[in-house]
C-alpha cells in the first residue's frame, strides 16, 4: 500500500489519503466476514462486533485520541481543541451490522472519521474545538447508543436479548453499570455540531450521477396497524351479496395506500409490510384482517395530509364493504431536520471541490436523528451502487468515499471557524 498522507492541492483544499482510507475499510471488512457469502455478521455485541470495537479503539489510540467508553458502551475518542472550554465537534456512526450485511453501512462513516484524524495530523491542523469520534452501540437494533445520549433508553432496551444475554448482562460483562445509563446523556450545549457520513442505501444519487447527498433532514415516520373486522362465514355457501368480507376491504385499502402516496408524490413513501388474517383458512371468509402501514416524509404536514386522506378513504371502503376499520398507532417518529449552519458548511465544502451534489432527505433512521434532539446535526450520503444495502452486495466506490471524506474534512474546518 502506497500512502502519501493527506495533502493540499495548490488551491489550498485539503484531501484525504485514498490508499489509507481504502486500507482501513478493507481491514474492518474482514471482521465478521462470512467467507462463503462475503456477508458481514457483526451484530451488536457479538464476538465479531467486540473484536471490531477493540480494533477500532486501537486505531483511535494510535491516531492520538483519548478513549472513553460511556455507560451505554459507546466508544468516544477525543482530540483536545486549542480553545479551552469549547463544545465539541462530533463525528459518529456505527460498527455493528445486520446479519449478512455489507462492508459499508456504518463502517464507511467511522473509517472516514478515522481518516480525518490522520489528515488533521498530516496537515498540522489544530482545531479550536475538541474533536470527538464516536462509535455508537447497536445502531441496527434501534439507535440504542445514540438514544442513550438523549436519555431515551428504558427497561425494554435493557432487557433486550443479544445472543441469549440481556443488554444489562452485556453491559456488566463490559464492566459497565446498566443502572448508570442515564449518565450516558449528553447535555445540550456540549456539542457544537454533529456530523455523519453514511451510505445512501437508495438509488437517487446513482440515478442522477451525483457523488454527494447533503441531507436536509431525516424523515418523519409513522407506523400503524389497521384492523378490518367482518364476519367469518363458509366460503362455499355464502352468496357474494351476503358477505362482510374484511379481506376484500383490506385489499382495496392496501391498494389505496399506494395510490394515495403516488398521488401526493414528492419524497413521500408508504409501505404495507405485514398482513395477517383470522382464521386464515382457505375455505373460510376471514373474520379479521390486520395490516401495517409504514409512511414517511420529510414534512409532517405531508404525512398528515396523506393520513387524513387515507382515514377518509378507508371509512368509505368500510361502509361499502360493510366491515369495521380501526387504526392503532405503532410508532410516530418526528422528523429530524439538519441544522442550517452545518448543512451550509457541507454544501460550501462540496461546492469548493466541485463534487456533484444535491440536497436530499434521508428516508432511513440514523444515529444523527437521535443526536439532532440535542445538537446541530448535518449528514452526507455517499452513493450506494445499485441502491443496495443490508446485503453482501452493498458497495460504495472508493472515489465517492474519498469525495465524502474530503467534504467532511473541509466542512469540519469551516465549522471550526464559523461556530462560536
Ligand atoms: Zn447504518
Average pLDDT, the chain: 96
Bridge partners (DSSP) listed for residue 162? 165
pLDDT for 135 equals 98
* Residues composing the chain: 420
pLDDT for 380 equals 98
CA of 106 to the centre of ligand 1 (A): 4
CA distance 391 to 378: 26
- The 10s digit of each residue's pLDDT in 94-148 is 999 999 999 999 999 999 999 999 999 999 999 999 999 999 999 998 899 999 9
- Joined grid coordinates for residue 335: 422528523
- The 10s digit of each residue's pLDDT in 157-198 is 999 999 899 999 999 999 999 999 999 999 989 999 999 999
- Joined grid coordinates for residue 367: 444515529
For residue 205, pLDDT over 80 is answered with: yes
CA of 282 to the centre of ligand 1 (A): 41
For residue 33, pLDDT over 80 is answered with: yes
CA of 19 to the centre of ligand 1 (A): 23
Could you tell me how many helices (H) and strands (E) the chain has, helices first?
12, 20
CA distance 372 to 342: 12
Q: Stretch 354-370: mean pLDDT, rounded?
A: 94
CA of 139 to the centre of ligand 1 (A): 7
Residue written as cell 352468496? 239
Q: What is the pTM of this model?
A: 0.88
CA of 364 to the centre of ligand 1 (A): 9
For residue 70, pLDDT over 60 is answered with: yes
* Lowest mean pLDDT segment, chosen from 206-210, 365-369, 376-380: 365-369
- The 10s digit of each residue's pLDDT in 238-265 is 999 999 999 999 999 999 999 999 999 9
For residue 420, pLDDT over 90 is answered with: no
CA of 309 to the centre of ligand 1 (A): 33
Integer distance in angstroms from the first to the last C-alpha of the chain? 40
For residue 41, pLDDT over 60 is answered with: yes
Q: Where are the alpha helices (DSSP H) in 63-196?
A: 107-122, 144-149, 155-159, 167-173
For residue 1, pLDDT over 60 is answered with: no
What is the CATH T-level fold of the domain 7-218+335-418, as seen in this structure?
Aminopeptidase (3.40.630)
- The 10s digit of each residue's pLDDT in 309-328 is 999 999 999 999 999 999 99
Question: How far is it between the farthest Cα atoms of the chain?
Answer: 84
Percentage of residues of the chain with pLDDT beyond 90? 94
pLDDT for 54 equals 98
For residue 278, pLDDT over 70 is answered with: yes
CA of 143 to the centre of ligand 1 (A): 9
Q: Minimal CA–CA distance to 108: which of 45, 197, 235, 37?
A: 197
pLDDT for 2 equals 62
Domain ranges of the chain: 7-218+335-418, 224-333
pLDDT for 15 equals 97
CA distance 79 to 130: 6
CA of 211 to the centre of ligand 1 (A): 18
CA of 351 to the centre of ligand 1 (A): 26
CA of 42 to the centre of ligand 1 (A): 12
DSSP assignment letter at 241: G
CA of 187 to the centre of ligand 1 (A): 24
Q: Stretch 211-230: mean pLDDT, rounded?
A: 96
CATH 3.30.70.360 given to domain 224-333: yes
Residues with CB under 5 A from ligand 1 (ion): 105-106
CA distance 24 to 21: 5
CA of 389 to the centre of ligand 1 (A): 9
CA of 301 to the centre of ligand 1 (A): 27
Amino acid at each position: 500500500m502506497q500512502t502519501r498522507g493527506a495533502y493540499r492541492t495548490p488551491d489550498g483544499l485539503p484531501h484525504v489519503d485514498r490508499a489509507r482510507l481504502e486500507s482501513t475499510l478493507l481491514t474492518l471488512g474482514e471482521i465478521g466476514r462470512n467467507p462463503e457469502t462475503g456477508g458481514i455478521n457483526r451484530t451488536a455485541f457479538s464476538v465479531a462486533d467486540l473484536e471490531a470495537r477493540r480494533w477500532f479503539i486501537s486505531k483511535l489510540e494510535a491516531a492520538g485520541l483519548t478513549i472513553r467508553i460511556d455507560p451505554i458502551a459507546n466508544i468516544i475518542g477525543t482530540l483536545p481543541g486549542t480553545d479551552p472550554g469549547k463544545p465539541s465537534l462530533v463525528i459518529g456512526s456505527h460498527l455493528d451490522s445486520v446479519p449478512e450485511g455489507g462492508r459499508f453501512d456504518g463502517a464507511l462513516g467511522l473509517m472516514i472519521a478515522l481518516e480525518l484524524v490522520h489528515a488533521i495530523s498530516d496537515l498540522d491542523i489544530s482545531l479550536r474545538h475538541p474533536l470527538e469520534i464516536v462509535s455508537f452501540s447497536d445502531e441496527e437494533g434501534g439507535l440504542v447508543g445514540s438514544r442513550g445520549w438523549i436519555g431515551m433508553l428504558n427497561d425494554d432496551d435493557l432487557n433486550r436479548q443479544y445472543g441469549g444475554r440481556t443488554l444489562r448482562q452485556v453491559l456488566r460483562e463490559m464492566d459497565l453499570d446498566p443502572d448508570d445509563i442515564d449518565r450516558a446523556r449528553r447535555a445540550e450545549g456540549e456539542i457544537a455540531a454533529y456530523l455523519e457520513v453514511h451510505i445512501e442505501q437508495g438509488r437517487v444519487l446513482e440515478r442522477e450521477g451525483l457523488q454527494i447527498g447533503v441531507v436536509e433532514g431525516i424523515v418523519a415516520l409513522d407506523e400503524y396497524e389497521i384492523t378490518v373486522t367482518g364476519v367469518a362465514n363458509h366460503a362455499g355457501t355464502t352468496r357474494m351479496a351476503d358477505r362482510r368480507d374484511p379481506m376484500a376491504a383490506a385489499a382495496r385499502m392496501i391498494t389505496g395506500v399506494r395510490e394515495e402516496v403516488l398521488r401526493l408524490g414528492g419524497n413521500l413513501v408508504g409501505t404495507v409490510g405485514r398482513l395477517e388474517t383470522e382464521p386464515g383458512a382457505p375455505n373460510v371468509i376471514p373474520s379479521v384482517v390486520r395490516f401495517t402501514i409504514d409512511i414517511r416524509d420529510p414534512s409532517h404536514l405531508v404525512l398528515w395530509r396523506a393520513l387524513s386522506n387515507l382515514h377518509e378513504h378507508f371509512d368509505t371502503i368500510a361502509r361499502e364493504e360493510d366491515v369495521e376499520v380501526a387504526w392503532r398507532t405503532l410508532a410516530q417518529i418526528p422528523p429530524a431536520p439538519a441544522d442550517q449552519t452545518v448543512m451550509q458548511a457541507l454544501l460550501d465544502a462540496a461546492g469548493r471541490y466541485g463534487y456533484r451534489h444535491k440536497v436530499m432527505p434521508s428516508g432511513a433512521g440514523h444515529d444523527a436523528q437521535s443526536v439532532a434532539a440535542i445538537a446541530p446535526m448535518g449528514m452526507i450520503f455517499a452513493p450506494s451502487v445499485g441502491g443496495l444495502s443490508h446485503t453482501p452486495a452493498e458497495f460504495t466506490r472508493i472515489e465517492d468515499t474519498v469525495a465524502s471524506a474530503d467534504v467532511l474534512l473541509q466542512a469540519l474546518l469551516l465549522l471550526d471557524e464559523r461556530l462560536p
